[in-house]
Amino acid sequence: MRRWRSRGGLLALALGVSFLLAVLGTSVSGWPTGVAVLLIGPVLAGVWSSARRTAVVAGWTLLLATGTGVLRRLVGTPGFCLEFVVLLAGGVLAVHNAARHAEREAALARVTEVACASQSALLQPLTVEVGGIEVCTRHHSPVREASVCGDLYDVVHTPYGPRLFVGDVRGHGLEALRTTAAAMRAFRDLAYLTPGLADLATALDARLAADLGPEDFVTAVLAEFAPGEVRLVNCGHPPPLRVGKQVRLLEPPQPALPLGMRTTPLPHRVYLQPGERLLFYTDGLSEARDGDGVDFPLLPRVAEALAEPSNSDALDALYAMVIEHTGRPLTDDVVLVLCRATGVTEAPLTACPREGVSPEAGP
């Protein structure tokens, strides 16, 4: 349908339908319908085309109706006059409907533009140092025709150490943007007040559950940095990667439900060697596919991209690899967050419990 519209095919279709009905009305013996049936053309145009094109179709049908009336010697008869009035009124209504539809589309486009601007403002790319941790981020929006998506990230410096929040809201559109803003606001409110990382996830879960629909949720991974290690809580989100001499997925010790679904995640520790980096991402990266449906080869491509010494250059190289793999613009948001210790990380006020150490936590 989009191809037809771009080439003016819908206008040709409406004109052709009207012409075909007029031909049938003048050439087929015993054709039972009158000229009012030509209203089908303007109705089709009013649903799919602009007001100007609908007016063209409406005028065309009036000319066809007049020609049909002349050929069938119906001009001046009460029945023909009534049907002509119906055709005229229907054409006017079709033009009005097309104009209203265009206004609604324009309003929706303005709202979507504002939503995209709001999302970009919330997720501005940044490179900052927080408590001895360099955090570099990228947010790549999908193609222009796609709707607003719900990827999110935030980083704050709390009394318990630098804390990072990377998530993905289920769904698209304005509701997803509203939930994104609510999740980021809740994280900033609770990250400073909640000592335990698992308790922070539980508090976020309770805060968001009140606003989410029955089928809505937010996948998330929370990270808290301390000297020589990072503490992680994963709520149904793609696992982060530890990148050093090897690239390793940091799977949680046990799966946990996303936020908004009464999750009870288990925290785990991962030790960090000097020079190692952590990559957090959303499923727009891990689920990117080429034309044959082949997934993006995550681990080898991340290792190749992160050979770049600069965090910023590494993320740009990784995204370029994704686009090269898919061969087309992505249809889903991609959030990339790369973290690296820049020096001695400040010791937090409290330490999380020692239980729940990940099998991958060793050096």
The 10s digit of each residue's pLDDT in 280-296 is 999 989 889 988 889 99
- 8, pLDDT greater than 70: no
Tell me the β-bridge partners of 269: 231
- Closest alpha carbon to 313 in 283, 330, 332, 338: 338
Here the tokens at position 356 are 């729940």
- 31, pLDDT greater than 50: no
Are 319 and 336 a contacting pair, CB within 8 Å?
Answer: yes
| Ramachandran class of 290: left when φ > 0, alpha when ψ lies in -120 to 50, beta otherwise | beta
Structural domains in the chain, CATH included, are 2-115 (no CATH), 123-341 (3.60.40.10)
pLDDT tens digit string along 180-235? Answer: 888 888 999 999 999 999 999 999 999 998 878 778 899 999 999 999 999 999 99
* Percent of the chain surpassing pLDDT 90: 38
Query: Residue 38's pLDDT is what?
Result: 63
Query: Residue 14's pLDDT is what?
Result: 52
Amino acid at 288: A
pLDDT tens digit string along 271-329? Answer: 998 889 999 999 989 889 988 889 999 999 999 999 999 999 999 999 999 999 998 87
Look at 183 and 37; give whichever has higher pLDDT. Answer: 183
- Closest alpha carbon to 352 in 153, 156, 194, 129: 194
